[in-house]
């Protein structure tokens, strides 16, 4: 009995110590910018705008992003602030680093007590997580109005704030007789799709990572099952070659089909430096039977001529009977820099872009980019009519009739930063070897 009593007392003492330690443990101290974000997340856009006016009137705002259109959005933001206070003025500069230098630029700027850049619009969830968020370089701000539109609470939302999801889709030149009715057709023997090299734009590598996620690997298996027997033998050889790799990486039962598609794709695609040249090639009537995987919105910049037309290409996923995914989706994310010189203005600008149709218009005016705010997405469609944008007075171009994110979301491989990070070492290293020995 004494031993039992002693044991019970010892347990109580241990529990008491744990409880005291828990009570004494303090929450991680917030930075000055994080304190502002905490306040900002309970404020409306108009309330944030007034804070921005107080903070940045007469100053210069520096932003940096993967999209050049931040430069187009900032003047509209300034006009919005001037509608509240006509005496408000602000200069601005927007930079767009090339070749993934944005991460180095933001890291270098973070070493300063007060940085140069107030905020960023950035892509590649894998590197954002490892190089920007975990290191404390960037802070997430969730606007109250955005959270309300999405039916969530700003201070409870987990994840990054996406301005938009963009899609890269399979398109093919339709001046010949060749058709693509299954996603495996793009990696069939003899095919060489035009594609922006994965070392030039890393979201393309994230797309390949995502194929190994169970839900997407299952879709590839289902597309494989739908193929006629004559088309399977070439694929079967690739599946057999990667089966042991799929087991080593701990992938699901259909992981070998994902690796097979990746292997065939990486070994066959025709590497390009940018999506613009890919689009220019495909819309020319001389590009018979060629295809590419590229940003959908590039089609809007095509100038019609005798040999060039938007009617020379088709979006594969729009074709009747098409099986499998039709492309991939990735996000532009918005962050406030942790050492932001103008944090209130940064929060207001982010709220303006994600919570108003005018704020999103720099991107929303074109097809292929979808606001993360359902209210803004609906307003954008009402304003620009993307679902019928191919039916214009200057010609009819069915390929421009964007079916919208509600249609595309189940037909795209959509980037998940956490999953990409989880397979970057295993699947990522394997892909590196494929590219190293390509050709």
pLDDT by residue, tens only, the chain of 439 residues: 333 333 333 333 333 333 333 333 345 799 999 999 999 999 999 999 999 999 999 999 999 999 999 999 999 999 999 999 999 999 999 999 987 899 999 999 999 999 999 999 999 999 998 899 989 999 999 999 999 999 999 999 999 999 999 999 999 999 999 999 999 999 999 999 999 999 888 899 999 999 999 999 999 999 999 999 999 999 999 999 999 999 999 999 999 999 999 999 999 999 999 999 999 999 999 999 999 999 999 998 899 999 999 999 999 999 999 999 999 999 999 999 999 999 999 999 999 999 999 999 999 999 999 999 999 999 999 999 999 988 875 679 999 999 999 999 999 999 999 899 899 999 999 999 998 877 5
Same topology, domains 32-164+331-386 and 166-328+409-436? Answer is yes
User: What local confidence, expressed as pLDDT, does residue 439 receive?
Assistant: 56
Predicted local confidence at residue 394, as pLDDT: 65
Domain 32-164+331-386: homologous superfamily in CATH: Periplasmic binding protein-like II (3.40.190.10)
Contact (Cβ atoms closer than 8 angstroms) between residue 56 and residue 27:
no
**CATH T-level topology, domain 166-328+409-436:** D-Maltodextrin-Binding Protein; domain 2 (3.40.190)
* Residue whose structure tokens are 């399977």: 232
pLDDT value at residue 393: 56
The pLDDT value recorded for residue 4 is: 37
Domain regions of the chain by residue span: 32-164+331-386, 166-328+409-436
Torsion of CA 289, 292, 296, 298, to 10 degrees: -90
pLDDT at 6: 39
Predicted local confidence at residue 98, as pLDDT: 83
In this prediction, residue 22 carries a pLDDT of 39
Give the pLDDT confidence score for residue 11 in this predicted structure.
39
Other Cβ atoms less than 10 A from the Cβ of 226: the count is: 15
Query: Which pLDDT belongs to residue 327?
Result: 98
The neighbour count for residue 120, using CB atoms within 10 Å, is 27
**What's residue 201's pLDDT?**
86
The encoded tokens of residue 313 equal 């290409």
């Amino acid at each position: 009995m004494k031993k039992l009593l002693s044991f019970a007392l010892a347990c109580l003492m241990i529990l008491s110590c744990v409880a005291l330690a828990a009570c004494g443990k303090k929450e991680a101290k917030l930075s000055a910018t994080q304190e502002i974000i905490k306040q900002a997340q309970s404020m409306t856009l108009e309330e944030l705008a007034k804070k921005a006016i107080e903070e940045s009137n007469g100053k210069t705002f520096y932003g940096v992003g993967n999209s050049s259109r931040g430069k187009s959005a900032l003047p509209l933001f300034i006009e919005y602030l001037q509608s509240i206070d006509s005496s408000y003025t602000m200069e601005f500069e927007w930079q767009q680093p090339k070749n993934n230098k944005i991460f180095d630029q933001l890291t270098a700027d973070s070493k300063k007590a007060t940085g140069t850049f107030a905020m960023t619009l950035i892509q590649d969830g894998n590197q954002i997580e490892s190089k920007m968020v975990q290191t404390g370089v960037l802070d997430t701000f969730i606007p109250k109005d955005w959270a309300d539109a999405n039916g969530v609470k700003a201070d409870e939302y987990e994840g990054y704030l996406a301005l938009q999801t963009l899609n890269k889709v399979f398109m093919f030149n339709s001046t010949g007789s060749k058709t693509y009715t299954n996603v495996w057709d793009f990696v069939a023997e003899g095919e060489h799709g035009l594609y922006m090299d994965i070392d030039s734009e890393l979201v393309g590598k994230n797309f390949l990572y995502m194929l190994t996620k169970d839900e997407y690997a299952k879709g590839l298996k289902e597309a494989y099952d739908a193929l006629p027997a004559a088309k399977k033998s070439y694929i079967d050889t690739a599946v057999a070659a990667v089966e042991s790799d799929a087991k080593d990486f701990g992938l699901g039962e259909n992981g070998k089909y994902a690796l097979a598609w990746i292997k065939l794709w990486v070994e066959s695609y025709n590497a390009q430096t940018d999506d613009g040249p890919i689009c220019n090639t495909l819309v020319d009537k001389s590009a018979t039977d060629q295809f590419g995987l590229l940003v959908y919105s590039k089609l809007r910049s095509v100038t019609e001529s005798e040999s060039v037309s938007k009617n020379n290409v088709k979006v594969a996923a729009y074709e009747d009977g098409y099986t499998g995914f039709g492309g991939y989706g990735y996000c532009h994310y918005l962050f406030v820099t942790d050492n932001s010189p103008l944090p209130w203005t940064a929060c207001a600008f982010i709220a303006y872009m994600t919570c108003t149709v005018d704020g999103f218009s720099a991107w929303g005016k074109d097809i292929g980019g979808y606001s993360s705010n359902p209210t803004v997405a609906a307003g954008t469609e009402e304003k620009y009519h993307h679902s019928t944008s191919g039916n214009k007075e200057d010609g009819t171009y069915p390929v421009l009739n964007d079916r919208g994110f509600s249609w595309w979301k189940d037909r795209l491989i959509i980037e998940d930063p956490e999953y990409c990070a989880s397979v970057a070492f295993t699947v990522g290293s394997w892909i590196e070897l494929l590219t190293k020995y390509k050709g």
